[in-house]
Structure 1
Amino acid sequence: MPKINILCFTVLCFFFSCQTKAQTENKAVPADARSADKASIVLNTNKADCISLPFGYSDLSKRTTEESVLSAIDDKNKLKELNDLRFEKSIKKDLIALPEEYHVILPFSTSVNEKYDRISMASDFLCYGDHSLYFMAVYNTVRYAEPFIEKIYLVSTKGGKLIDMKRIYLNHQGEMGFASYTLFNIDKNYIISLQNYELTENPFQLKPVQQYQILPSGKFARYYDRDGSYKNNEEQGTVKNHLKEGKWTETKSNSTIELQKNPEFTDPYTYLEAEYKNGLPSGTWKFYKLLQNYNEETGEPILNTRKKGALIYTEMYKNGVLEKREFQ
């Protein structure tokens, strides 16, 4: 069985770092430079190690209370299933950059540097046509005496080349009992369901399930059960073939806005005019300041007061890849 050596895993980490940097710079990145980042790596290709589906937390729809969420997080049988993926090859590294999405979903992403002692790739993986999807675990060994898996990423590859990655699991325990969790399920049709939970001082509120589809290109894209017009409290647009298509407007927290560097922003929300093609970002995206009022008692935004403010920055996409970002 092929093994992942440390040199190859270092290349993997380097790729993630390069990918993150390319997403945050304002200059266009030539296509040939991007493809050079996607260096070939040696990964386990033994079909005998392909796991069967469904896999994950199949009862996500039943986890509707804080108690049920905590019982799922602490479920020893589920934790054993995750560890049984055989995260055998690890690399010790003091500092590694990973794309992160604690509170928001792509394309609202940022990069954070966090210190970990152990990052491992599993030998068991998902076979998906010409693509292979690998599980990468990030263990938190800094804050706790006994290390545990804090994050799991699903890494999409084809022919040993890296294509995309999506965080599918999170067990982030903060101060004063505050915590962020993500539980996942991958069904027999390879539809990935993610349920995010936030435990804060506010009353427990269940967030909507986010679903993702693996495209023929190997990229991850939002998946919707029904075609046609779609609207919720944060986004609206048209769904075609279960994917976002055409013009969309989205009002979400945006981690690209650094509040300390932009004191005129009282919150990180933006009003986005976006465009999608076959589920992937396309064309020019326009990010405006989101103007909204807040409930004085709860501090929550009042949705019916939301409106578009001044233009902040634009992003230009080609084939789902960010080519350029320009601030006003």
Structure 2
Amino acid sequence: MPKINIACFPFFLFLFSCYSKAQTENKSINTEAHSDKGSFFFNTNKADCISLPFGYSDISKRLTIDSILSVIQDENKLKEINALQFEKTIKKDLVLLPEEYDVFLPFSTSVNEKYDRIKMATDFLCYGDYSVYFMAVFNTVRYAQPFIEKMYLISTKEDKLIDMKRIYLHHQGEMGFANYTLFNIDKNYIISLQDYEFTENPFQLKPLNKYHILPSGKFTRYYDHDGPYKNDEEQGMVKNHHKEGKWVESKSNGYLDLQKYPEFTDPYTYLEAEYKNGLPTGTWKFYKLWQKYNEETGEPLLNTRKKGQLIYTEMYREGILEKREFH
């Protein structure tokens, strides 16, 4: 079996530069859609709405390397995804929309030298007054046959762009390392995402995360049970299956510039966040997360974590990032 590996996520920081610059300068977000020949029109033919469930239905049961590789390499499933008919070529400036702070958008002039790398599918999801479209970023550089490297869901209403969420990843890195994200969308429009990393370890199974489409058309985390929630990365209260009130989150953060802060050894931050109906609200405070590591495995020692100095703040209103200030 070939050695598989996961690409380092600093790569995605590079892709994120356009969005980061627009946000940090506090400019208005351009939500106009374009194609090579002018305005881009989304398909609104209800006959092209796909039926649910759709995706990889049993990802939560895939716990071993062999079982995961079998589903990743399933040619029938890949044909099913490609059957969405990714035919409409779009330009890289289709949309710049805010997502969760640790999720990166796909647009960058350095990456999208060929506009035909990004395509919109003809088939889409019908969701009440909203339409949710599949957008694919194809890898056309290193391999003889182009394949879908990343796939996003984009929610719209009356051709107005609302939100986006990456749901699929197939990235082959150097030395045989690889990153994968597999998805499933159930009949209730609950989106399950499972990340897989193949490295020298040789394999890491990350927690399965779920997302939901709110009545506003925005994507937000979904939890099976209400009440107090806590894992290795976050803790807070869940209400109506969504985050509510004060949360504390300790995660790797792409906005932490290690060149600007050379005293920091990693890009982790300690976040004091606030949510209302599952969406960010109020002032978020990002502190440096200090932590020690296991000398043999390199894994962080959770019991050594503590809050450091304040690095930057973000101000949200109704889920929209309005301002970011570094300290």
CA-to-aligned-CA distance 1:150-187 (integer Å, 9 cap, x gap): 11111100000100011101000001111000000000
Is 1:175 equivalent to 2:189 in the alignment? no
**Alpha-carbon distance between aligned partners in 1 of 2:293 and 2:18, rounded to the nearest angstrom:** 38
| Structure 1 SS opposite 2:303 | helix
**Alpha-carbon distance between aligned partners in 1 of 2:94 and 2:269, rounded to the nearest angstrom:** 25
Corresponding residue of 1:282: 281
Quote the offset at 1:70 in angstroms. Answer: 1.7
Corresponding residue of 2:207: 208
Structure 2 runs not aligned, ≥5 long: 1-15, 34-38
1:66 partner amino acid: I
**Alpha-carbon distance between aligned partners in 1 of 2:314 and 2:150, rounded to the nearest angstrom:** 29
Paired residues of 2:31 and 2:95 also in contact (CA < 8 A): no
| Structure 2 SS opposite 1:302 | strand
Quote the offset at 1:288 in angstroms. Answer: 0.5
Corresponding residue of 1:126: 125
**Alpha-carbon distance between aligned partners in 1 of 2:177 and 2:265, rounded to the nearest angstrom:** 23
Quote the offset at 1:67 in angstroms. Answer: 1.8
- Alignment CA distance shift 1:275-1:230 (3 Å): same
| Structure 2 SS opposite 1:271 | strand
Corresponding residue of 2:103: 109
- Alignment CA distance shift 1:111-1:64 (3 Å): same
Quote the offset at 1:145 in angstroms. Answer: 1.4
- Alignment CA distance shift 1:100-1:70 (3 Å): farther
| Structure 2 SS opposite 1:292 | strand
Corresponding residue of 2:183: 184
**Alpha-carbon distance between aligned partners in 1 of 2:142 and 2:93, rounded to the nearest angstrom:** 16
Corresponding residue of 2:69: 70
2:242 partner amino acid: L
Quote the offset at 1:26 in angstroms. Answer: 4.3
Corresponding residue of 2:221: 222
TM-score after normalising by structure 1: 0.86
1:316 partner amino acid: M
**Alpha-carbon distance between aligned partners in 1 of 2:233 and 2:214, rounded to the nearest angstrom:** 24
**Alpha-carbon distance between aligned partners in 2 of 1:183 and 1:57, rounded to the nearest angstrom:** 7
Quote the offset at 1:72 in angstroms. Answer: 1.2
Quote the offset at 1:243 in angstroms. Answer: 0.3
Quote the offset at 1:42 in angstroms. Answer: 1.4
Quote the offset at 1:132 in angstroms. Answer: 0.2
Number of aligned residue pairs: give it: 302
Structure 1 runs not aligned, ≥5 long: 1-15
Query: Runs (4+) of structure 1 moved beyond 6 Å?
Result: 95-101
Quote the offset at 1:21 in angstroms. Answer: 4.1
**Alpha-carbon distance between aligned partners in 2 of 1:110 and 1:261, rounded to the nearest angstrom:** 20
Paired residues of 2:120 and 2:136 also in contact (CA < 8 A): yes
TM-score after normalising by structure 2: 0.87
Paired residues of 1:198 and 1:204 also in contact (CA < 8 A): yes
